[in-house]
Chain A
């Protein structure tokens, strides 16, 4: 028989406001096994924990039930408390009377009744608990970073500087992400390339970092400390270790009409290409969809001019398998497609561009060498209209846009407007907005400068329609503050498109068993307290893949993710989860049902000798669980027809006892 102590927490008024905690403690005194029951204002405080420890000693408790907040909040805390008093940490059960009782019910009587029942269920379960000890597994001291934008770059550098090996997998031919495409950056207007490219070079030269560019993660197995990852290195038809990045091949390539994705299709590139001058790794890549040699077998010019013999038209995709202790997701974002926003004439006129395209048009390394020219006729534009929140905060148009605020657009639009007015004082610049949101250090000052110093016309209201007329774009909009309709003949219209997670995010999340929200942004383990960890142990989040973010926030989060990874990799061993499956060899008949449903291959079969009642021995095949591999889902326990499989910590008898206690 257990000697159970029950501790009912008030959580200030959070619980005590809707649950009569004293009555709960009193009622639970009479439950089987309970020898002590009390209540206290904050069980998780030092004093509360001391109360538990003292009771363990004084009443020789063998188990503890805490009626408090969610076990997801403080189960670990109370397990540690119990362990400090010499109890096995798995002899602790939590009854969730806050999140699942006091916070969701309003009636004191009903709340108290329910709290008593939840406490009773926890006691019933605890009566059947047995002490558990966790096994230990070694940690692979290498981290994987998926995505090589500024988030991935910063995370990788921080981990590598702490002395651990890091691999970056980037699907594009070069690292850099969106930041490499930007011109100047708010709120300081320093040039993106000047602050990004030195970091890219550091990554390329760091002895602890390997870059797998033009590569993708295709499979992830294993668990925290021991992930087995399959990476596909797509054939770039150029030997990466031989190519010097001299660019001669690009000069000679006859196929010059390939839309240049780095400039968002605003100009063309060759079939063999290096995305931009500061690419890392600076290695050419052949685009097989356009390469004449790849398509017709006749050309081979690049191979002829390459002085080092780096071209290999027969290169195949390479599959590599590597072990990692931790994985960081840094897959970033993309602007949404403007196809569905016909009202802004994006597909009808070349002079309607997205903000990211505008970055390229203003960029000294862009298609116009930084001179702002209209894409349609190459003329200097005089009137520019910026439209904010295109597809953001779009509750009514959820089928084509997003309900959330994309967060970065107010600031980059202010930046664009300011840069245009600074460079071309002869221009008129209008910005249409729903609200201007500038909650960041020096952000509001930045926006006010755009209005006050640079004379940008900010108008509260939405643009209803953009119609090309001759070489002008007729913009129809409402001014909500002056309550009037506006008609502006613009030369260019710039759309601040909403941003969304990379299209690969969902399949990646499935591979990693990491969770996402309904918008496909990765979810963090706790919105306030664990912002860079995913709920899946060993998976961390960095940058805009977790939610819209500017560069300062991205870099901060990247560093935080790195420190979490370092905290994991410095450990030599991880204590595993002792709540794993176990087979009762006497009952197992070796049918293999459990093996078939196990997602981890944790179950194997061994031949075991059994002594029979008549003193003969017989050899039988029985299931055995590898506790280091088992993750404790319990699929096998239900599949087992003879009831031989059980899950420690969530045993069939324990759950049955909970059911009984609830249905009493």
Chain B
């Protein structure tokens, strides 16, 4: 049951080779997920600089998810291992700053897993929505 109409803003970084293609497959199969998910295409999940995640939260995103190829399947062999380590650190720091764990996530999703992509986005959006608006890292100067 939906009590309020609150729609969280979700930024999803997807690597070009697996997850972005997985998102396309979700589209091909018409598997719907909330429209508050906005995808940014990056060559590999390891292109995602922690700065991008911080920036998103600073500008008012309520949740940030990174999607990459499954471990061992990264198009560039090892990029997703860097992602995993970098984000583990970043997310624990964010947690410390008050950005709850549920607002950040790394998920592996292959080009063949359109259903998994849609499902992940549904679950993630729901989890973030349950937490409500993210106020912790918002940059007040950005507010008009």
Contacts and interface: CB of A to CB of B under 8 A. Distances in A.
Interface of A: 70-73, 96, 98-101, 103-107, 110-111, 113-114, 117-118, 121, 509-510, 513, 515-518, 523, 535-536, 579, 597, 599, 631-635, 637-639, 647, 650, 652, 655-656, 658-660, 662-664
Contacts of A652: 49, 51
B73 A515 contact: yes
Interface residues of B, number: 52
B43 A72 contact: no
Interface in B34-71: 35, 38-44, 46-52, 55-56, 59-61, 69
Given A99-B27, A659-B11, A637 B47 contact: yes
A650 B77 contact: no
7 contacts: A104-B32, A110-B35, A111-B35, A121-B40, A652-B49, A659-B59, A662-B40
B43 A121 contact: no
A602 to B, nearest CB: 11
Contact of A663 (B11, B35, B79, B112): B11
B30 A104 contact: yes
Contacts of A655: 40, 42, 47, 49, 52
User: Which 4 A-B residue pairings sit nearest by Cβ, starting from the closest?
Assistant: A99-B27, A634-B47, A663-B59, A633-B76
A510 B41 contact: no
Nearest to B14: A100
A104 B11 contact: no
Contact of B56 (A509, A599, A659): A659
- Select the residue from A100, A117, A513 with max chain B CB neighbours within 10 A: A100
A100 B23 CA distance: 7
B44 A663 contact: no
Given A99-B26, A632-B43, A655-B47, 4 more contacts: A71-B41, A121-B38, A517-B110, A633-B43
A96 B39 contact: yes
A474 to B, nearest CB: 42
Contacts, number: 152
A579 B55 contact: no
Nearest to B50: A638
A536 B75 contact: yes
Contact of B82 (A72, A535, A579, A635): A635
Nearest to B41: A71
Nearest to B33: A104
B76 A535 contact: no
A223 B69 CA distance: 19
Given A99-B27, A104-B31, A656-B52, A634 B44 contact: yes
Given A110-B35, A650-B42, A535 B111 contact: yes
Interface in B77-108: 77-79, 82, 86
B39 A100 contact: yes
A664 B18 CA distance: 28
A515 B27 contact: no
Contacts of A635: 44, 46-47, 76, 78-79, 82
A518 B31 contact: no
B75 A72 contact: no
B59 A660 contact: yes
Given A104-B27, A638-B50, A656-B51, A662 B44 contact: no
A597 B82 contact: yes
B35 A113 contact: yes
A631 B55 contact: no
A96 B75 CA distance: 22
A660 B55 contact: yes
A74 to B, nearest CB: 12
B82 A638 contact: yes
Contacts of A650: 42-43, 47
Contacts of A509: 73
Nearest to A509: B73
B20 interface: yes
B133 interface: no
Contact of A510 (B21, B61, B73): B73
B73 A101 contact: no
A257 to B, nearest CB: 40
A105 B21 CA distance: 17
A647 to B, nearest CB: 7
A128 to B, nearest CB: 14
Highest count of chain A CB atoms <10 Å: which of B18, B31, B74: B74
B118 interface: yes
Contacts of A113: 35
B48 A106 contact: no
Given A658-B40, A660-B59, A662-B40, A104 B118 contact: yes
Nearest to A662: B38
Contact of B24 (A100, A114, A516, A633): A100
Contacts of A99: 23-24, 26-28
B124 interface: no
B109 to A, nearest CB: 12
B33 A599 contact: no
A663 B9 contact: yes
A106 B30 CA distance: 10
Contacts of B40: 121, 655, 658-659, 662
Nearest to A105: B35
A107 B79 CA distance: 37
A515 B69 contact: yes
Given A652-B49, A655-B40, A513 B27 contact: no
Contact of B86 (A96, A114, A536, A638): A638
A99 B42 CA distance: 17
B89 to A, nearest CB: 12
B43 A105 contact: no
B62 to A, nearest CB: 10
Contacts of B31: 104
Contacts of B46: 597, 633-635, 638
Given A633-B47, A647-B43, A656-B51, A535 B17 contact: yes
A659 B59 CA distance: 8
Contact of A633 (B44, B61, B72): B44
Nearest to B56: A659
B128 to A, nearest CB: 14
A647 B35 CA distance: 29
Contacts of A647: 43, 47
A535 B21 contact: yes
A256 B128 CA distance: 68
Nearest to A109: B35
A633 B24 CA distance: 20
A71 B110 CA distance: 17
A70 B35 contact: no
Which residue, of B46, B48, B50, has the highest number of chain A Cβ atoms within 10 A?
B46
A383 B140 CA distance: 83
